[in-house]
């Protein structure tokens, strides 16, 4: 019975391949090629994860990346179709500035960040990449920002205040 539930959950996941890299290792007889795949998996309802798969073939690297990403899924605080507040995510020299937007605004982001936001289920947001544009750094910086988001209810509960007090 649990197998059916896990299969159903896997079918509902949004899988996005962000980058596939060919890596060469120089050995005595020449070069050996392998592949690494950076993958993002989300359910479109506020949960997402990222994974890196490495293998001798592209399809196997992607499969390993998807497996790692599903194990690494985190819940993300959303307010409707956007994020609750402005935030900056850091990873290495990569920084990502995220601003919430009104309904109907769309996703203003490029490359890896857009793929992550679509997988999470965010439809209205403005994002600016600051610093490194390396896809690995951008993905990790984006997840740093998304996992650090706090909902108004959580902040109000921590401070012992009313939610309406915080929104004003």
Asked if residue 167 is part of any domain, the answer here is no
Asked if residue 164 is part of any domain, the answer here is no
Last residue in a domain, options 28, 44, 74: 74
For residue 3, the model assigns a pLDDT of: 52
Q: What is the mean pLDDT of the chain?
A: 90
For residue 155, the model assigns a pLDDT of: 83
Asked if residue 54 has pLDDT above 80, the reply is: yes
Asked if residue 168 is part of any domain, the answer here is no
Parent domain of 65: 2-74
Asked if residue 137 is part of any domain, the answer here is yes
152 vs 8: which has the higher pLDDT = 152
52 vs 165: which has the higher pLDDT = 52
Q: Are 125 and 146 members of one domain?
A: yes
Structure tokens, 105 = 């605004």
- DSSP-derived letter for residue 132 is -
b/e string for 112-140 if b means 16 or more Cβ within 10 A? bbbbbbbbbbbbbbbbebeeeebbbbbbb
Mean pLDDT of 15-21: 96
Q: Are 58 and 105 members of one domain?
A: no
For residue 159, the model assigns a pLDDT of: 85
| The model's pTM | 0.87
For residue 153, the model assigns a pLDDT of: 84
Alpha-carbon distance of 13 to 46, in angstroms, equals 11
Last residue in a domain, options 58, 74, 90: 74
Please write the tens of the pLDDT for every residue from 61-96.
Answer: 999 999 999 999 999 999 889 999 999 999 999 999
For residue 163, the model assigns a pLDDT of: 77
Asked if residue 1 has pLDDT above 50, the reply is: no
Asked if residue 166 is part of any domain, the answer here is no
Last residue in a domain, options 74, 100, 124: 74
């Amino acid at each position: 019975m649990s197998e059916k539930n896990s299969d159903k959950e896997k079918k509902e996941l949004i899988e996005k391949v962000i980058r596939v890299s060919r890596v060469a290792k120089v050995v005595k007889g020449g070069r050996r090629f392998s592949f690494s795949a950076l993958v993002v998996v989300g359910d479109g309802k506020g949960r997402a994860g990222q994974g890196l798969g490495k293998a001798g073939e592209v399809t196997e690297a992607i499969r390993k990346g998807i497996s790692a990403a599903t194990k690494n899924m985190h819940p993300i605080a959303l307010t409707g179709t956007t994020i609750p507040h402005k935030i900056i995510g850091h990873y290495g020299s990569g920084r990502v500035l995220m601003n919430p937007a009104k309904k109907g605004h769309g996703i203003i982001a490029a490359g890896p960040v857009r793929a992550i936001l679509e997988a999470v289920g965010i439809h209205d947001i403005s994002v600016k990449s600051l610093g490194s544009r390396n896809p690995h750094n951008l993905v990790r910086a984006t997840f740093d920002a998304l996992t650090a988001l706090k909902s108004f209810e959580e902040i109000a509960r921590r401070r012992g205040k009313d939610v309406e007090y915080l929104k004003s």
